[in-house]
Amino acid sequence: MVDAYETFLDGLRRKKGLDLNGYKRPQMERRINSLMRSLKITDYGTYLGLLEKEITHWRKFLDTLTINVSEFYRNPSQWQVLEDQILPELIQTSRSLKIWSAGCSTGEEPYTLTMVMMNRFPNVKFTMLATDVDDEVLNKARMGAYNDKAVLNLPQNYINGHFTKEGSNLVIKDEVKKRVNFMKHNLLTDAFDRNFDLILCRNVVIYFTEESKAQLYRKFYGALKQSGILFTGSTEQIFQAREIGFSLVSSFFYKKGD
């Protein structure tokens, strides 16, 4: 029997270059069906044709599926561990940090870390790669304009020092923007760069299948330097960490090697 959902995924892969096979089916299918109902579309073939023709529907489709929820300094206690423990230890062993924010959404995370580096470690050289699969959120990230809600957790001196007020928005200053290299990248299908000191992948993999998660964490392990750190989200414990070669140095922080 032909599985209409699987046929739809195959069409997405061939016609739009989007591979959703690594994502959990129940969540993806529920969101896709909800979008179809809102348009009074009852079959996947018709919906795929609409996604091919109409860029506005394609963007809404991507936005709904990728769940682009982000904010500056998300989970402040975890950022405190990063600033007080993890970064100082990394700096002891490396004269220049190579950092990757994987699944960066609209840029709050890499901009936060860039501001941390500029304020707490002004004499340390670093490179900041920020990637996402969604062109739309990357464009928003490059613009760097945010509402007041996005910066609620950010220390006030960061807001005062690194943003300008433009109408109802707070806009990241160019001195911060130029430090972040935004690129399109698919975590499930694209190759990874190597020799990172620190990789942040937080609140990204919760919609991935267990198999995809396992493959991804192994790829992150391979992309880190020895003793490099992977920083995960609050709901993303790596159950096979030791098997992969990670050791837990603090909650949500995994070190390559012992």
Residues 219 and 103 in one domain: yes
Average pLDDT for residues 174-181, to the nearest whole number? 96
Number of domains in the chain: 2
Domain that holds residue 32: 4-66
Q: Which of 155, 145, 252 is nearest to 204 (CA)?
A: 252
pLDDT for 186-218, tens place per residue?
A: 898 899 999 999 999 987 777 677 788 888 999
Alpha-carbon distance of 187 to 50, in angstroms, equals 26
Quick check: pTM over 0.75? yes
Given this model, what pLDDT does residue 235 score? 65
Residues 97 and 150 in one domain: yes
Residues 101 and 215 in one domain: yes
Q: What percent of the chain has pLDDT over 90?
A: 47
Residues 42 and 83 in one domain: no
Whether the predicted pLDDT of 14 surpasses 80: no
Return the HEC string of 93-141. HCCEEEEEEECCCCCHHHHHHHHHHHHHCCCCEEEEEEEECCHHHHHHH
Q: Tell me whether residue 71 is in a domain.
A: no
Which of residues 32, 66, 100 is at a domain's end? 66
Which of residues 39, 66, 93 is at a domain's end? 66
| pLDDT category of residue 82 using cuts at 50, 70 and 90 | very high
Whether the predicted pLDDT of 63 surpasses 80: no
Q: What are phi and psi of 41, to 5 degrees?
A: -105, 130
Alpha-carbon distance of 198 to 229, in angstroms, equals 5
Average pLDDT for residues 160-180, to the nearest whole number? 94
Given this model, what pLDDT does residue 6 score? 84
